[in-house]
């Protein structure tokens, strides 16, 4: 019996193709790799969207801050709204006095914030803060609406010696003497008032003639000046007086936080 031999090389036939298991395995690997790529792409898109929203919020907050800094004057206020330029971002601007904890000085600061909702549904806020100016003691008292007696005003304002005046102004005694020669008003007993020294500090020792006229020569004159600077020449800030914007008594308004005041103003604006 003769053996018959088949030569695949000669006939051109190839039996080395992929089996079904090999094909399924390859498809599974391809699906796994593709899903991983899709997850990475999705995360990149989400991250890009959140980054874009955050940049819009930052730009909006910066624009509002630049408007405040470009203004000639500012007043205590709380404002808010929806952005027309960036429809997914809302904004809030607060101009308020605050007491700096280290030195105890009162400042006016502006806080501009912008809020958006990220891809996870969480509220995100971008906030910019700028300390605009430091208030003098009398300005802080006027802003707080706290009427002062002559005794309180004397204790707050009077500086008995040149050394005390120099320390308050942040200069040396020789500079105080030069300011006196340049028109700094002193008390009859040679004492100094912070109110007058502030005029020279603000002008770096070179006040105008009009600024020199703003000085006072006694505590009584200072009390009258401060009273005249208040609206209507009356004492303001009492617990029974009402805030013209909210309609609430000042005493109640002072106990409320900024968030509560904002909510009150927002509800009032909707009416």
128 and 155 in a single domain? The answer is no
Residue 248: inside a domain:
no
In a domain, 14, yes or no: no
In a domain, 241, yes or no: no
Q: Which domain holds residue 105?
A: 20-135
73 compared with 130, residue with greater pLDDT: 130
Summarize pLDDT for 1-35 with one digit per residue, the tens: 455 454 544 444 455 666 877 777 777 777 777 76
Q: Do residues 142 and 131 share a domain?
A: no
Check residue 195 and give its pLDDT.
86
Counted domains in the chain: 2
pLDDT at residue 103 tops 50: yes
* 6 occurs within a structural domain: no
Q: Is residue 121 located within the same domain as residue 218?
A: no
- Stronger pLDDT, 87 or 26, i.e. the higher one: 87
Regarding whether 227 and 174 lie in a shared domain, the answer is: yes
Q: Are residues 124 and 177 in the same domain?
A: no
Structure confidence by residue, pLDDT tens digits, 227-240: 665 544 444 344 44
In the predicted model, is pLDDT for residue 78 greater than 60?
Answer: yes
pTM of the model: 0.42
Classify residue 112 as exposed, middle or buried by CB count within 10 Å of its CB (0-12, 13-18, 19+).
buried
Percent of the chain with pLDDT over 90: 11
pLDDT computed for residue 62 by the predictor: 92
Co-location of 114 and 145 in the same domain = no
Do the domain assignments include residue 60? Answer: yes
- Residue 229: the pLDDT is 56
- Give the pair of three-digit tokens for residue 41: 């792409």
Please indicate, yes or no, whether residues 35 and 126 belong to a single structural domain of this protein.
Answer: yes
* Residue 249: per-residue pLDDT: 64
Q: At 250, is the pLDDT very low, low, confident or very high (cuts 50, 70, 90)?
A: low
- Which residue has better confidence, 1 or 200? 200
Final residue belonging to a domain, choices 84, 114, 135? 135
97 and 44 co-located in one domain = yes
Distance CA 63, CA 112 (A): 9
| 66 and 152 belong to one structural domain | no
The reply to whether 112 and 201 lie within a common domain is no
270 domain-assigned: no
**154 confidence band (pLDDT: 50, 70, 90):** confident
Range with lowest mean pLDDT among 28-42, 92-106, 234-248? 234-248
99 with 179, same domain: the answer is: no
Residues 131, 188: one domain?
Answer: no
Residue 105 lies in a domain: yes
- Residue 238, judged by CB atoms within 10 A of its CB (0-12, 13-18, 19+), counts as middle
Residue 176 lies in a domain: yes
């Amino acid at each position: 019996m003769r053996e018959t031999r088949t030569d695949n090389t000669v006939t051109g036939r190839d039996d080395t193709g992929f089996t079904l298991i090999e094909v399924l395995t390859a498809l599974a690997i391809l699906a796994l790799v593709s899903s991983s790529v899709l997850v990475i792409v999705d995360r990149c898109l989400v991250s890009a969207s959140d980054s874009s929203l955050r940049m819009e919020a930052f730009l909006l907050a910066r624009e509002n801050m630049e408007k405040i800094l470009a203004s000639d004057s500012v007043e205590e206020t709380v404002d808010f709204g929806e952005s027309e330029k960036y429809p997914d971002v809302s904004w809030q601007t607060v101009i308020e006095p605050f007491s700096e904890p280290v030195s105890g000085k009162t400042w006016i600061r502006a806080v501009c914030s912008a809020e958006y909702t990220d891809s996870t549904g969480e509220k995100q806020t971008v906030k910019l803060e700028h300390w605009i100016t430091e208030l003098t003691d009398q300005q802080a008292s006027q802003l707080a609406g706290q009427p002062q007696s002559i005794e309180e005003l004397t204790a707050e304002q009077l500086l008995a010696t040149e050394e005390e005046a120099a320390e308050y102004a942040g200069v040396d005694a020789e500079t105080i003497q030069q300011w006196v020669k340049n028109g700094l008003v002193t008390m009859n007993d040679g004492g100094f008032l912070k109110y007058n020294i502030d005029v020279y500090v603000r002008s770096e020792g070179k006040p105008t003639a009009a600024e020199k006229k703003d000085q006072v020569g006694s505590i009584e004159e200072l009390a009258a000046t401060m009273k005249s600077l208040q609206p209507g020449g009356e004492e303001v800030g009492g617990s029974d007086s009402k805030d013209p914007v909210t309609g609430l008594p000042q005493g109640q308004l002072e106990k409320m936080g900024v968030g509560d005041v904002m909510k009150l103003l927002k509800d009032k604006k909707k009416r």
